[in-house]
Amino acid sequence: MPSQTNNFAYVRGEILPLDNAFLHVSDLAIQRGYGVFDYVKVSQGHPLFLEDYLERFHASARMLHMAVPLSDKALRDVVYELIERNDMGVSGVKMILTGGYSGNGYDPAEPSLVMLQQPLSLPGQEMLARGIKIITHAYVREIPQAKTINYTMGIRLIEEIRSKGASDVLYQQNGVVTEFPRCNFFIVAQDGTVVTPDSNVLLGVTRKNVLALAAKKYKVVERAVTLEDVYQAKEAFLTSTTKRILPVVQVDEKTIADGKPGPVAHALLADLIQLEEEYCRQQVVR
Amino acid sequence: MPSQTNNFAYVRGEILPLDNAFLHVSDLAIQRGYGVFDYVKVSQGHPLFLEDYLERFHASARMLHMAVPLSDKALRDVVYELIERNDMGVSGVKMILTGGYSGNGYDPAEPSLVMLQQPLSLPGQEMLARGIKIITHAYVREIPQAKTINYTMGIRLIEEIRSKGASDVLYQQNGVVTEFPRCNFFIVAQDGTVVTPDSNVLLGVTRKNVLALAAKKYKVVERAVTLEDVYQAKEAFLTSTTKRILPVVQVDEKTIADGKPGPVAHALLADLIQLEEEYCRQQVVR
């Protein structure tokens, strides 16, 4: 692990140096991969759209029958305390809730809440200008609406993604595409409609923001998206908290349109950056 | 966690008291539920059929592109050292291999190997005499051949199992049954054939031993088993390292045969106990 002596984390009720942030091996995350998490981006000292992330964190916890041990007020206080003490710049605060220290290694106990702040590099100008290649893989996440810690498939595919010179993997099942391990997916259809899969996906906060921004300028629809739709699209792009909007120009061996990022992704990225800045300004005014 | 001051565990190269057995929160088990494990039963001081469990542990690790950091000789030495120091009676040694302390919380690092010994209660005479009720749930594990730490579905179903007065949940997909979260499944067909599902299951060591024992007395076949096959069966039972053989007498609302454990499960359990005892005797002779 990287030594970060000035980085503080929250573990089961205590704020302590990240170097001392440990869970006992009886924790159900270690024993049974049982947990949910969420991740909010920090910019100019503000956790962007925190209310949306907290709402989803609670929803994920409920789907796994776990209770978040802190009130929203207390969660927010920890987020802000970590941001202040770590003084990290553009970064992310991750909150993980696990099944807790289980007596028999199977039955859930009092959940463990862990919160950490991690540095974050946004995609560079070159990547945005060139777009990325992605591969596809037949898979649907087990409980797509919940942000569980189960990334077995995504991590197992890292080697294949790299060996094919790609940047990420888009899940599909029977030719219907859904999401990336950590990002949502959009296309711009030939008639200019902005389209994103409507089911078997995590409801990303950036996805929600991009849908709202797109609706101001374009026709927008949430529906099933097939691989054939993707091949015929004018543009394709992914959205996520850490990547914002990243154009996709190649899917497996198929080039999308002319193989270059398009104007819709570009315009929406500018709008999203503006929305983030407005959010920060509003926080300051409060 | 239960305080067990006389219990020793192995964590990333060190044997230490279980109370001090922790992993850093950057570990990929905590960050991403990424890991595999195995579990060997200890009886009379011997890890039963250890060679089979080690082989499967390596196979699981390979499927997740991880290398076990110890040689088989060194793994065995740790297992025997824990057994000797913990002096626990009937118990289990669990070995967990995770994606390690990840710098960015996603990319695998040097794997973390954790080994612990846990007390174990075998099913009591009353449960064996009465058999158990089970429910079914539509699900197939993601990488069924690998013993990953992902038990999200099984643990999420604990409440439903209890609320229905059942003891376990049998996974099925489109009416084809496969396995329990932690056990394999067998039926005895009307013609006396012992049948177990052949695909989308973890290849249990007890399953293998029971198949070999059954083949000495009965016709045995591995094939697809439907829910209809189950309803029509003369007997049904589960097998696992910790439960050995446990008769199943009710599946959802359907009673199997006359609702009582049958002679085949009974005979195979006696044979399995004898096989375990023979294994122990052979270890002593060496």
B67 within domain boundaries: yes
A74 within domain boundaries: yes
Residue with tokens 């964590």: B11
* Domain end point (choices A119, A140, A165): A119
Report pLDDT digits (tens) over B119-167. Answer: 999 999 999 999 999 999 999 999 999 999 999 999 999 999 999 999 9
Contacts of B265 (CB under 8 A, 6+ apart): B188, B235, B237, B245, B246, B247
A156 within domain boundaries: yes
Report pLDDT digits (tens) over B37-66. Answer: 999 999 999 999 999 999 999 999 999 999
Q: Measured between CA atoms, how close is A220 to chain B, in angstroms? A: 32
Q: Please, which pLDDT band fits residue B285 given cuts at 50, 70 and 90? A: low
Report pLDDT digits (tens) over A172-202. Answer: 999 999 999 999 999 999 999 999 999 999 9
* Domain end point (choices B91, B119, B147): B119
> Which of A7, A15, A32, A173 should one mutate to test binding to chain B, selecting the residue with the greatest count of B CBs within 10 A?
A32
Quick one: B202 and B247 in the same domain?
yes
Can you give the CATH number for the domain in which B43 is found?
A: 3.30.470.10
Q: Please, which pLDDT band fits residue B6 given cuts at 50, 70 and 90? A: confident
> Which of B7, B10, B32 should one mutate to test binding to chain A, selecting the residue with the greatest count of A CBs within 10 A?
B32
Quick one: A191 and A154 in the same domain?
yes
Q: Is the pLDDT at B71 greater than 70, yes or no? A: yes
User: Which structural domain range is residue B259 located in?
Assistant: 125-276
Quick one: B147 and B101 in the same domain?
no
Instruction: Let me know if B3 is exposed, middle or buried by CB neighbors in 10 A (0-12, 13-18, 19+).
Output: exposed
* 3 state SS of A230: helix
B21 within domain boundaries: yes
Quick one: B86 and B193 in the same domain?
no
- Count how many domains chain A has: 2
Quick one: B267 and B134 in the same domain?
yes
Is there a contact between B150 and A155 if contact means CB atoms under 8 Å apart?
Answer: no
B282 within domain boundaries: no
Can you give the CATH number for the domain in which A132 is found?
A: 3.20.10.10
Residues of B in contact with A107 (CB under 8 A): 155, 158
Residue with tokens 């991880």: B66
Do the beta carbons of residue B194 and residue B182 sit within 8 Å?
Answer: no
Is there a contact between A33 and B148 if contact means CB atoms under 8 Å apart?
Answer: yes
Quick one: B141 and B238 in the same domain?
yes
A284 within domain boundaries: no
Q: What's the angle, vertex CA B184, arms to CA B183 and CA B189, rounded to 5?
A: 140
A282 within domain boundaries: no
Residues of A in contact with B27 (CB under 8 A): 30
Quick one: A114 and A137 in the same domain?
no
ipTM above threshold 0.85: yes
Residues of B in contact with A102 (CB under 8 A): 1
Spatial distance between the Cα atoms of A153 and B236, rounded to a whole number of angstroms = 33
